[in-house]
Amino acid sequence: MPLAVVCQDAAKPSPAPPAPAAPANAPAKRNPAVDPERQDLQKAIESAANDRAALVKNLEAFLQKYPESSQRPQIYRALVESSLQLRDFPRAMDYSERLTSLNPEDISNTVLTIQLLNRYGDVPGYRRAVFYCSRVLEYVDRAPTSEKSPRVSTEDWEASKKKDRSSLLLIRGDLYLKLNDNANAQKDFEASYALIPNAAAAERLGNLAELNKDLNTAIQQYARAFALTDGTNGASSRVELRKKIGNVWRLAHGSEDGLGDYLLHAFDASTAAAAPAKPAHNQGGKEPYDFVLRKVSDGSPVRLADAKGKIIVLSFWATWCGPCQELEPLFAKVATLYAGKPEILFYALNCDDDESLVAPYLAKEKLTAQVLFADGLDRLLRVDSFPTTVILDRTGKIAFREDGFDEDGFEKSLTQAIDRALAPANAPPSSAAAANH
């Protein structure tokens, strides 16, 4: 079971669980041979009915009478979950830690114990929570791939482990801060951020740097947090971080001049570092015909070398690009004009960093052009703004390029450029093409 979700909000009350049941092979209730302990447990459960407070009271009374009951793990779990429902977090913390002591291999409960101790514990509790964090980190490190579900890819398994480590290091860093061990806290926050750039670790590193009067480092870390935050998972809101970085910037520079440009650069760098890594496709490609692109629909390859001698019209776009949405129907309309000409191909090339966004977008927007992943062709052609439209002639050279688009003139300019590229090399320019010059 992945730990990251539990780490983020382990103390959130869960849905009401079933009360611990007596063993299935327990004798009938009126059988005089019934074990008194099991009979008392059954009575404690049944008399509470659906009253959580009564269940807690009854189970605690049962434990006072039978402190070494073999049913303690199930009873402790019921007490933890009922206490969370009642928002009695100190009691939930107590029984969660008891369950951790009885069953240290129950990782989900151990993480819950850590979170509860972090929020509601005292100094000795913080120290125990540090120990539990270290133990779970060791468990995550040694978890073999053989334990993963066959439904989960090896890549997703490793990514989940990385996320778990980052979350646990962040929690342990917070515990070290509460123990006034700033050196170990800083190590854990740095390790958490190195695994997965995250706003919470960056903000804490900024706090430590500001405490140490290292204003430049504080500015850098607060800017990273500002770029990455969504106000959850232990990070401040962007408004709060804006105040922090503004204050430190004024201390370092005397005014806020230059802060805006700095934040923009920090945003670009931080979001690029946090983006899912894209597989390197067509790394050695030096011309378009070296490239093999992938269909978004099924991942099948499209070799541009197979299009030698043809005209290729390319629209580079991204899901987040508003003008790309406006261009798409115009691009599709032009493609329709040439639908009967096999010597011309139209491709819409997606350039999103996160490819998982593309399929849902297409399901909603219903693009009509053949959609491929750009797979590095955008890099070769130096596409750095969207939308960008490119025509490759019959030799693979750029015959036309438009960065952005003029809604009123796009269809005309693209159509004229296609006609020029289709014309034989020795043919005189058409009147339309001549008018364009």
Cα–Cα distance measured from residue 393 to residue 401, given in angstroms and rounded to the nearest whole number: 12
Strands, DSSP E only, in 274-428?
292-295, 301-303, 311-317, 344-350, 370-373, 388-392, 398-403
Give the residue range(s) of CATH 1.25.40.10 domains in the chain. Answer: 4-196
The arrangement of strands across the sheet holding 398-403 comes to 301-303, 292-295, 370-373, 344-350, 311-317, 388-392, 398-403
Amino acid letter for position 391 = I
Q: Looking at residue 33, what is its pLDDT?
A: 52
* Global confidence as pTM: 0.65
**Residue 328: both structure tokens together:** 């798409």
- pLDDT in the model for residue 31: 52
Q: What is the pLDDT of residue 357?
A: 86
Regions of the chain with pLDDT less than 70: 1-34, 275-279, 425-437
Q: Is 351 in a helix, a strand, or coil? A: coil
Q: Under CATH, which number does the domain 288-436 receive?
A: 3.40.30.10
Architecture of domain 4-196: Alpha Horseshoe (1.25)
The answer to whether residues 128 and 97 touch, using CB atoms and an 8 Å cutoff, is yes
| The pLDDT value given to residue 17 | 46
pLDDT at position 335 is 95
Please tell me the predicted confidence (pLDDT) of residue 343.
94
Q: What pLDDT is recorded for position 428?
A: 53
Q: Strand 388-392 to strand 301-303: parallel, antiparallel, or no bridges (unpaired)?
A: unpaired
CB 313 within 8 A of CB 410: no
CB 318 within 8 A of CB 399: no
Say what the pLDDT of residue 34 is.
Answer: 63
Pairing of strands 344-350, 370-373: parallel
Which of the 8 DSSP states describes residue 301?
E
| Domain span(s) for CATH 3.40.30.10 in the chain | 288-436
Phi-psi region of 280 (alpha: psi -120 to 50; beta: other; left: phi over 0): beta
